[in-house]
Amino acid sequence: MKTKIVVSNTSPILNLAIIKRLDILKAFFKTVHIPDMVWKELVIDGGDRKEVKLIKKSDFLEIHTIHDMNLYQLLRKDLDGGESGAICLSIELKSNLILLDESEARRIADIYNLKKRGF
C-alpha cells in the first residue's frame, strides 16, 4: 500500500492546536509534511502561546526545505509565505493531499492540480 503524502499550511495545524485536537491530524495522517516557512509561522512567530508548546511536542510533523524558490517567489505575489511554501512542497513531494483553508490558496492549488481539503 502506497503511503499517503499530506502537506499542510499553517492554519489547519494552528486551529487544531488551539482547541487541543492535533490528535485528529495524527489519526487521519500518520505524517504531515510542512515547509520550513509553516514551521516558522507556527513556532517562531507563535512565541510562548500554549498551542505552540503542543505543536513543538507533536511527533507527526515533518519539516522540509523547499527547493523551487522561483515558484515560491511567484506564489508570494498572491499568497503568504506558509501557503506559498505548502503549495511548493506539495508539488515537490507529489503529495496526495494538501490542507489549505484560504480560498485564494485553494484556487491556486487548483491551477497545479493539487488535491486539497479545507480545515
At 61-80, the pLDDT tens digits run: 999 999 999 999 999 999 99
Query: pTM of the full predicted structure?
Result: 0.93
Q: How confident is the model at residue 5 (pLDDT cuts 50, 70, 90)?
A: very high
Domains and CATH numbers, the chain: 6-117 (3.40.50.1010)
Task: Find all residues with CB under 8 Å of 81, minimum gap 6, and list them.
Answer: 37, 40, 41
Encode pLDDT of 18-37 as tens digits: 999 999 999 999 999 999 99
Residue type, 68: D
pLDDT at residue 53 is higher than 50: yes
- Residue 65 sits at the vertex; the CA angle it makes with 59 and 71, to the nearest 5 degrees, is 135
- The interaxial angle of helices 50-57 and 10-18, nearest 10 deg, is 110
